[in-house]
Structure 1
Amino acid sequence: MKLALYALLCVLCVPFVFPTWWMVTSSVKPMSEILAFPPKLLPQTWDFSSYRQVFEIQPFAQQYFNSLYIAAVVTAGTMAVAALAGYAFARIRFPGQNVLFVVVLTGLLIPSEVTIVPLFQMFHTLGLTNTHWPLIVVPILGAPSVLATFIMRQFFISLPGELEEAARVDGLGRFGTFYRVALPLARPALGAVAIFTFLHSWNLYLEPIVYLSSPELFTLPQALTQFVDLYGGPMWNVQLAAATMTALPILVVFVLAQRQFIEGLAHTGLKG
């Protein structure tokens, strides 16, 4: 029975694993093998020169650093905002609390394409276009933060109120209770927020195209579109080499942190 189940799982994982396998193996193939028919699973000629060309054609190391530090700052900022807002919605009672929370959640219903033009005009007026500020500020205060706030609120609602009552008896105020009691217990939820926020920022494509014009400021999704030949055709082996270096670190992070991600999301539905 177990062997049949494992065999079924192996078959079902093929559509998910094969594209990654094809990307990695094709990054070390010459162009003639990438376009050959029928395609081959392994390269007949191993050619690693495409990895060198990635750094020769563009400032790829700088672009890699841009994506890394932007994603890190956005993740830290979103975790801070979501933790504070989620705790406030879960524990602090004030008039119109539920109405305000519904208004906040409506931010998830507004596509980023709808707000990109007014946001561009605002940042252009402030002289912040062709900088990384829009890629940092908008995600922290936008839809990713709204979803993160919802996850944190649901987690804090699930915490027993007796823990905070004991903290207040010991003399802790509201912020002390949040920082010393609630926040340490929220590590699974924070882990889930950190993972999906980092992935969202890392894969952001539309906003960098709108706000950035200098190659040295590009992030990786935008940089991947620039590997073309003199005639504007795609350099498939170089593009796939760049995509491999872009995707594999994130894949490793997700595999290592998937337990925290699943555990954090599971806690969001314990209480309404």
Structure 2
Amino acid sequence: MSLRAKTAVYGLLCVLALPFLFPTWWMVTSSVKPLSEVFAFPPTLFPSSVSFQAYRDVFTLQPFAQQYFNSMYIALAVTVGTLAVSSLAGYAFARIRFPGANVLFLVILTGLLIPSEVTIVPLFQMFHSWGMIDTHWPLILVPILGAPSVLATFIMRQFFLALPGELEEAARMDGLGRFAIFSRIALPLARPALGAVAIFTFLHSWNLYLEPIVFLSTAEKFTLPQALTQFVDAYGGPMWNVQLSAASLTAIPVLVIFVIAQRQFIEGLAHTGLKG
């Protein structure tokens, strides 16, 4: 491709990226604007004056640091748990032949068809009977054992199906058992799929909103999506500059993780047949 063609392609890509980048740019710049300038029309690309008072208000009006920590450790716990469950289940469905495997896998996949709103009431009753309401346990256990883990299991199964069977046969000849083959050979080769699953899972847990508002009632235990709705004035109206500041802080881990793991994310989708 010639230099002129490359320049044209990159220029077109930059133009197409503007609709996706502008909302993020507006969010970040509006978080340091005066409140009267947030909804100015036409929207301003740069604030006339910069103030970080809204960022200070984020931590004084709510226990935002604690809420930030809550979301972070819950998302990490869910990600690690989902990786463990989905990799084991995906390997079992891909490599172990047992009666009814396909039927069982089809039954598990139907979990993706059930909206979370349908199961939220029985889940609330179940966790209430276990004394886990207003704790973080439902936010950890439900994603690991629910629909997000089903999608992760499907991705891992598709990846393990694509691995050459000769690798396992050679490992068996060397005296390795089933779990040793999984942990020493299959799992290290599955890094691209694990990266894709990790990003999917972390984003889902980080952005979870319905379950926190159902299971949590104490401000110190809130997660970030729930906390963002609490920045209101004395009349119940939204404090836009404070909310935008909190939203900007909330977006940082997502951007960092995607930048770090984007190569594994793309490779994982390519190996599992989920390319767009």
TMscore range, shorter length: over 0.9
Deviation at 1:3, TM superposition (A): 2.4
Equivalenced residue count is: 270
Percent identical across equivalent pairs?
79
2:163 is aligned, of 148, 154, 159, to 159
The 5 Å alignment of 1:127-146 reads 127-146=131-150
The answer to whether residue 250 in structure 2 is matched with residue 216 in structure 1 is: no
In the alignment, the residues of structure 2 paired with residue 114 and residue 151 of structure 1 have an alpha-carbon distance, to the nearest angstrom, of: 24
2:54 is aligned, of 50, 66, 72, to 50
The answer to whether residue 250 in structure 2 is matched with residue 246 in structure 1 is: yes
Cross-structure match for 1:32: 36
- CA deviations on 1:38-71 (whole Å, 9 max, x unpaired) are 3211000101010000000000000000000000
Deviation at 1:30, TM superposition (A): 1.0
2:200 is aligned, of 196, 201, 208, to 196
The answer to whether residue 116 in structure 2 is matched with residue 104 in structure 1 is: no
The answer to whether residue 12 in structure 2 is matched with residue 8 in structure 1 is: yes
The answer to whether residue 93 in structure 2 is matched with residue 65 in structure 1 is: no
In the alignment, the residues of structure 1 paired with residue 15 and residue 133 of structure 2 have an alpha-carbon distance, to the nearest angstrom, of: 47
Runs of 4+ with >6 A deviation? none
In the alignment, the residues of structure 1 paired with residue 241 and residue 63 of structure 2 have an alpha-carbon distance, to the nearest angstrom, of: 18
Structure 1: runs of 5 or more not aligned: none
Deviation at 1:256, TM superposition (A): 2.1
Deviation at 1:15, TM superposition (A): 1.1
TM-score by length of 1: 0.97
Instruction: Name the Cα RMSD after superposition.
Output: 1.0
In the alignment, the residues of structure 2 paired with residue 249 and residue 79 of structure 1 have an alpha-carbon distance, to the nearest angstrom, of: 19
Structure 2: runs of 5 or more not aligned: none
Cross-structure match for 2:273: 269
In the alignment, the residues of structure 1 paired with residue 209 and residue 17 of structure 2 have an alpha-carbon distance, to the nearest angstrom, of: 27
Cross-structure match for 1:173: 177
1:134 maps to a residue whose letter is P
TM-score by length of 2: 0.96
Deviation at 1:265, TM superposition (A): 1.1
